[in-house]
């Protein structure tokens, strides 16, 4: 039976086919060779307290339109100035209304690590992410085979990027650990059904070895949720909807960071 994730990935592959016709991997590799090294995002996420990955996010499959965000660079700067450890930029266009141009503008505006948030299914996308300035890429275990996960995880590190390996159940968590992931994101939202289960992080975190950076994703409506995740063992939270839909994203960032520091 086809899932929401299957439909998203099918669209990603169609859009990817267009981009590979326009820009070859060799072109991307030449661009990467001329870039400064990626920022060590994993080291930043290991800092004391609760790190915040603040997301530039216009829409989602579960909620539809969230915010206009005409100026992603300005929003990213607001996040960074308020204390966000890293900025996540959606580049998937069909369901999330993001673009690589958003990534370019955010990269030019901030000095903190930047995550390219997309559905990575080929090596080309990792080269593409680095060529556009990403320091972190997302690898969703549910959309990759073990061989793909291992290969892309290794390539991310070869390119100097941090791989945020996303899981949402016990089997995927074990696969992430077996792949050697040093940063694991536990998503409370099941991408196959879009349902959110707030106990997912607390259920899966015991399966993640000590020393692995643990990122809680989804289910953070504000500071109280972030503080709870911190108590449960999160080193970082990834927050999008609560920041872009609120009236004061800077205040929201400061409150989440402070809540984590006080946990």
Q: Which positions are annotated as active-site residues? A: 55, 57, 117, 166, 187, 217-218
Q: For residues 76-115, b (16+ Cβ closer than 10 Å) or e, as one string?
A: bbbbbebbbbbbbbbbbbebbbbbbebbbbbbebbebbbb
Question: Of 81, 133, 124, nearest to 105 (Cα)?
Answer: 133
Here the tokens at position 57 are: 């996010």
CA–chain centroid gap for 247, Å, is 23
User: E strands along the chain, which residues?
Assistant: 51-56, 59-60, 64-65, 86-90, 114-117, 136-140, 162-167, 183-187, 213-217, 236-239
- Strand 64-65, strand 59-60: pairing: antiparallel
Handedness of CA 131, 5, 216, 67 (dihedral sign): positive
**Hey, is 157 helix, strand or coil?**
helix
How many residues are listed for the chain in this entry? Answer: 263
């Amino acid at each position: 039976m086809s899932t929401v994730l299957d439909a998203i990935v099918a669209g990603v592959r169609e859009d990817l086919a267009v981009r590979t016709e326009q820009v070859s991997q060799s072109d991307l590799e030449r661009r990467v060779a001329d870039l400064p090294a990626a920022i060590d995002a994993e080291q930043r996420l290991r800092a004391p307290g609760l790190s915040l990955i603040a997301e530039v996010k216009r829409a989602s499959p579960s909620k539809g339109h969230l915010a206009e965000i005409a100026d992603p660079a300005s929003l990213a700067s607001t996040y960074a100035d308020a204390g966000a450890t890293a900025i996540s930029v959606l580049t998937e266009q069909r369901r999330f209304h993001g673009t690589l141009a958003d990534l370019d503008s955010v990269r030019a505006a901030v000095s903190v690590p930047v995550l390219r948030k997309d559905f990575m299914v080929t090596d080309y996308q990792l080269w593409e992410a680095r060529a556009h300035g990403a320091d972190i890429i997302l690898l969703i275990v549910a959309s990759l085979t073990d061989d793909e996960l291992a290969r892309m995880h290794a390539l991310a590190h070869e390119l100097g990027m941090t791989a945020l390996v996303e899981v949402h159940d016990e089997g995927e968590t074990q696969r992430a650990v077996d792949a050697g992931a040093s940063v694991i994101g536990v998503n409370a939202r099941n991408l196959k059904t879009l349902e959110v289960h707030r106990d997912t992080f607390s259920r899966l975190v015991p399966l993640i070895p000590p020393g692995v950076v643990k990122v809680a994703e989804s289910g953070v409506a504000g500071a109280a949720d972030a503080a709870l995740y911190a108590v449960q063992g999160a080193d970082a939270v990834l927050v999008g909807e609560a920041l872009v839909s609120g009236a004061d994203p800077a205040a929201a960032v400061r409150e989440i960071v402070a809540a984590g520091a006080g946990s």
